[in-house]
Each structure stands twice: as C-alpha cells, then as structure tokens.
Structure 1
Amino acid sequence: MITQAVEDARRWLAEWGIVETGDGWVDAEVPGRPLTANEVAHSWAGEVFTDERLDVAEQVRLAFGMLDLLDDYWVTCEIRFADRGSDGPLPADVLWDGYRRRLEAARDAEAVTYSLWVDWFEDRDTAATAFAEVLGNDIDQVVEEGQDAVIRRAGRVLACSGPVPWPVKQKTYDTAVRLPALHVPLFKGLLAGYHDVYGDLEPTAALALLARLHLPADTPHLPELRSVLVAGHRHHYRSPHAWDDAVRASTR
C-alpha cells in the first residue's frame, strides 16, 4: 500500500540522518539548516538505487515511497534515470505498477502525470510501452467495469497523452469514448495532441472522435479545435496561424 511505502521511505531517510520536522526537513549533520522536499529529492532519490542492501524491486518500491513522501517530480526523474541507465531496465512489473497505483489514488498526482507527459510520452523510444502499461493494455476492462479508481487513472492518462503517437493511442481513444466520464479527459488529450510541441494526431480521425464527445457547449477551445481539424491541420506548429484564425472566427 502507498501508506506503507511512505513509512518505508521516511524510515530509510532517517537512517541517513534526514528527518522531517514542522518546518520541513533537516539533515542531522547540519541541523540548523532546513531543507525543502525538492532538496531532499535531488540529494537522496538517486541514492535509493545505490543501496546494495535492497534488491532492485525493493529499490523501485522505495523510490515510489519517496515520491509519495516528498511529492516532488525529481524523484520520478531518478526512477527514469535508473530504468534507462546502464544498470537498467528496472523490473517492468514493479515500475509500472508503481505508476498505476499512484494514478489511481485519490491524492494529487501532478508529479506522476507530468513525468508521464514530458519524460515517457514525449520520448518516442518509450511512449508506446509507457502508454500501454498505464492504460492501453487494460482500457477495455476500465470501460467495462467502470470502477472509480481505474477511471481516475484513465482520465489522468488521457489528459496528458497528447505527445503519444496517434497510431499508439487511437484504439485506446476509440474505446475510452464509450465511457462518458472520460470525455473531458479525451478532449484534453486531443487538444494537447494539437498544441503540444511533441503532440500527435490525425485530423480526420480526431475530428470523428471529437464529434462523439458529449461536452458542454461552452467548453473552452472546443470550436477552435473543431475548426482546425475540419481544415485538416494536424499540429499547431505546422500551421501557426490556423489557430489564431479559428479564434477570430469563433468570436465573430
């Protein structure tokens, strides 16, 4: 459980003299200088993967516990460095289970979704595997069972999936549209697919999907996105004036 992972991380840090106080964190060797969570993450998250007392799976679980404890994006960077480094890859089942659990948790998951977006999804070498592991592999089950936690995970993944190559995510999108609770996240994914520097979509297919979404009529950027897709534009940076033209047309 995530709570246990937090306690394991807290205990591990304390072994090295890093303890939490009312004002933040302190290092036993420099007790008069408070540390931020970000400073602790930069100094210690990578060290988890050098602790020879732990096997690799235990290191990964401990790193995720540190992420829960510190809520700092840098911890996810160290996890990725360990996976992609010379001693990687990390055990895939433990790695992706760690991501899925945190995407399903009720607590804020910004560090996790940001990690997926800018590190795993924007990298063409890892986008397909990462997307499949956090959603694509079980999207049918998500839609059929409709459980709150997995819907939460699906929505978070879809909203940050703009950079995932269209052929990789299209089937998942086409399945997710069957569940109305995922329509807003799907729209966010389509919008990011058009605007993100690494975004990817196919205009005709994206337009057909957009037509199936039940969204409030006043959804921000809905008419503009529809307009650029109708015109066949696949990316903001390929047609930099198209969006401005669509905005002007929607305000007339």
Structure 2
Amino acid sequence: MTTQAMDDARRWLGERGVRQVGDGWVSAEAPDQPLTAAQVAHSWAGEVFAADDLDAAGQVRLAFGLLDLLDEYWVTCEIRFAHQDPAGPLPVDALWDGYRRRLEAERDAETLTYSLWVDWFEDRATVETAFGEVLGNDIDRVVAEGSDALVRRARRVLACSGPVPWPVKENAYDTAVRLPVLHPALFKGLLAGYHDVYGALEPAAALALLERMRLPADTPHVEELRLVLAAGQANHRQDPGVWDSAVRARS
C-alpha cells in the first residue's frame, strides 16, 4: 500500500467526475447526492480493467489503489473477476504482490483477509496458488527473518487459512510453529479449519502441532480442540456432538 497508489486512484476517479468530499464522495452528475465508498466501488472498480491507457499490470495497481482508497470488499471481487475473465488471467506478479504488500502494512487488512478466506481459499480451483503466493512459498524466509512486516503478513494469512486443505498448508503450518509469535494466529487457523464448512484437519498432525504451541493461558477453546482432535475428528460437520461434548466437559 502506498500513498502514490491512493493518489493515482483518486486522480483516476476525479477524471471521471467522482471526487472525495469529507468522509464521502460525490459525482459531477449529481453533486447534491452523497455517495458511499461502497457505491463508488460498485460503480467504478470494474471499469479499471477497461482502462485502455493502462497495461494489465497498471490496471492491477490502479485497482489496488482503489482498494486502499475505498477499503471496500467489492474492489477485491472485481480484481478476482478480472483474473478469471476470458481476457485474463491478470499478471500474477502484480496481483499477488498487491496482496502481499498490503498484508504486510500496518493498516488494517480485514478486507483483504476476508477476500482471501471467502474467495481465494474456499475455491478449490484457486486455493493452492493463492495460499502459496501469500505465504506458503516463502514461509521459510518469514520465519528465518522474522521482520515485523513479514510476521504481520504471516499472522493475517494463518488466521484466515481455515478453508485451505491440509495438504496445501501443512508445510507452512509446520514451519510457522517454529516462531512462537505466530502461535496465536496459527491456533486461529487450526480452530477455523475445524469449524469452517470448507475446512478439514488431519487430526493426528493437527494435534501434534497444537501440542507444540505456547499460547496465552486465556486462549479460548484450546482444550476443546485438543479433545476433538484426540478423538480423531477432522471437522465439526463430521459429528457436531463431539465438539458439544468437549464444551460440556470444559464447563
């Protein structure tokens, strides 16, 4: 995320008669009718990929600038639509560098992690590539260097990695557990992997991983997860009663 990207997006909108006024937006066509960021995103994010004065990489960078500016999930949808369009795919370096850089930034990244979770990670056609690009391919470097930015990205990806199939994320999890600062996010990923409708753990391997974690004493559901994994449960949907029993046992 850069100020330049936001400035470029603001300028691009301005050329189309859309400008920021206070906390909202107005268009030249109806200056007395305030627009929300969501309305601007739905009206204009898709148009980025029809901008004939930009090459494909430039379009991707402009789209991410709009995301920085508007912080609206719909912008990520349009990015994904363009990637999967018959005219796609988008340049992968620009696409995934856009995700990685924003996942590493100090600014809140909830829109990005939601996009990863519900779009890229829950889709079996895209999950392997997406997870690899945002964490799996360089998890060794993340753990070895341990910089604030890399750790921030790893935390965010691990926490939303519940839907990622176990074979796709197993190596990343096994590597991440070596860095204690990642343990809370890794636990969130395990817990989500148990409960998410698309998730599934490998119980023995997940339990072994859980036993290696050092978590704050007040972390909720650690014992419940330990009990269901010890019972060989891969996912909540396998037998919801097992989790319910574990909760009662902890009461």
- For residues 23 and 117 of structure 1, the distance between their equivalents in structure 2, rounded to whole angstroms, comes to 28
- For residues 235 and 84 of structure 2, the distance between their equivalents in structure 1, rounded to whole angstroms, comes to 29
Where in structure 2 are the equivalents of 1:1-252 lying within 5 Å?
2-251=2-251
**Partner amino acid for 1:116?**
L
Identity %: 73
**Partner amino acid for 2:197?**
V
- For residues 37 and 54 of structure 2, the distance between their equivalents in structure 1, rounded to whole angstroms, comes to 23
Give a deviation string over 1:56-107, Cα, whole Å, max 9, x none. 0000000000000000010000000000111110000000000000000000
**Partner amino acid for 1:170?**
E
**Partner amino acid for 1:103?**
L
Q: Check whether the contact 1:23–1:34 (CA below 8 A) recurs between aligned residues.
A: no
Q: Secondary structure at the match of 2:236?
A: coil
Q: Secondary structure at the match of 2:238?
A: coil
Displacement of 1:2 in angstroms is: 1.4
- For residues 96 and 68 of structure 2, the distance between their equivalents in structure 1, rounded to whole angstroms, comes to 15
- For residues 69 and 10 of structure 1, the distance between their equivalents in structure 2, rounded to whole angstroms, comes to 7
- For residues 55 and 12 of structure 1, the distance between their equivalents in structure 2, rounded to whole angstroms, comes to 15
Q: Check whether the contact 1:96–1:134 (CA below 8 A) recurs between aligned residues.
A: yes
Cα RMSD over matched residues?
A: 0.7
- For residues 95 and 48 of structure 1, the distance between their equivalents in structure 2, rounded to whole angstroms, comes to 14
- For residues 147 and 218 of structure 1, the distance between their equivalents in structure 2, rounded to whole angstroms, comes to 26
- For residues 33 and 226 of structure 1, the distance between their equivalents in structure 2, rounded to whole angstroms, comes to 54
Displacement of 1:23 in angstroms is: 4.3
Gaps of 5+ in 2: none
- For residues 207 and 226 of structure 2, the distance between their equivalents in structure 1, rounded to whole angstroms, comes to 7
- For residues 67 and 242 of structure 2, the distance between their equivalents in structure 1, rounded to whole angstroms, comes to 40
**Partner amino acid for 2:27?**
D
- For residues 88 and 23 of structure 1, the distance between their equivalents in structure 2, rounded to whole angstroms, comes to 34
Displacement of 1:218 in angstroms is: 2.3
Q: Secondary structure at the match of 1:157?
A: helix
- For residues 40 and 18 of structure 2, the distance between their equivalents in structure 1, rounded to whole angstroms, comes to 8
Q: Secondary structure at the match of 2:20?
A: strand
Give a deviation string over 1:204-223, Cα, whole Å, max 9, x none. 00000000000122210111
Give a deviation string over 1:129-187, Cα, whole Å, max 9, x none. 00000001110000001100000000000000000010000000000000001000000
Displacement of 1:54 in angstroms is: 0.7
**Partner amino acid for 1:135?**
L
- For residues 198 and 23 of structure 2, the distance between their equivalents in structure 1, rounded to whole angstroms, comes to 39
- For residues 125 and 23 of structure 1, the distance between their equivalents in structure 2, rounded to whole angstroms, comes to 38
- For residues 6 and 135 of structure 1, the distance between their equivalents in structure 2, rounded to whole angstroms, comes to 25
- For residues 248 and 109 of structure 1, the distance between their equivalents in structure 2, rounded to whole angstroms, comes to 35
Q: Secondary structure at the match of 1:45?
A: helix
Q: Secondary structure at the match of 2:240?
A: coil
Q: Secondary structure at the match of 2:87?
A: coil
Displacement of 1:16 in angstroms is: 0.2
- For residues 249 and 206 of structure 1, the distance between their equivalents in structure 2, rounded to whole angstroms, comes to 21
